[in-house]
Amino acid sequence: MAIELGDRAPNFTLFDSQAKAVQLSDFLGQWVLLYFYPRDNTPGCTQEAQGFRDLKTEYDQLQTVIIGVSGDDAKSHQKFIHKHDLPFLLLTDPDTAVATAYGSYGPKKFMGKTYEGIYRHSFLINPEGAMAKIYRKVKPADHAAQVLVDLASLQAPNS
């Protein structure tokens, strides 16, 4: 069953790069950008993460927490964070249960081969824990800026 606008965001507990448990419910009362990405240190994933990093101050001004999720382990996340100076949480989803719950895991094709993997999807979650915006067709180069525009619009009075 696909997640739709207005649906409550499925809660989860995953571990961050320091092996600390993080629950989505820890962020109730705040805006959250939850983004799923295939793999640390690949070109598209790096570009997307750097976009969020470069606009982090603007996200902070809109009181929005950025959380990235992939199937990579904590050590991989540590290297990715350090190499690219990423100032936000990256969580490990080794069995892809959370990605699956968000409809962000399934068959992919690359160079004529089909395999299972995490999709590049993002979810903007409002302070009440409901889906405010869903991004299923993400272009890494401009995604962070587009989400910021949408977030400002959603937070504007009378929106």
pLDDT digits 0-9 by tens, 9-46: 999 999 999 999 999 999 999 999 999 999 999 999 99
Question: Domains of the chain: which residue ranges?
Answer: 13-155
Instruction: Report whether 11 contacts 25 (CB < 8 A).
Output: yes
> What residues act catalytically?
45
Residue pLDDT, tens place only, 80-123: 999 999 999 999 999 999 999 999 999 888 788 888 999 999 99
**Terminal-to-terminal C-alpha distance of the chain:** 28
pLDDT tens-digit readout, 47-89: 999 999 999 999 999 999 999 999 999 999 999 999 999 999 9
Architecture of 13-155 per CATH? 3-Layer(aba) Sandwich (3.40)
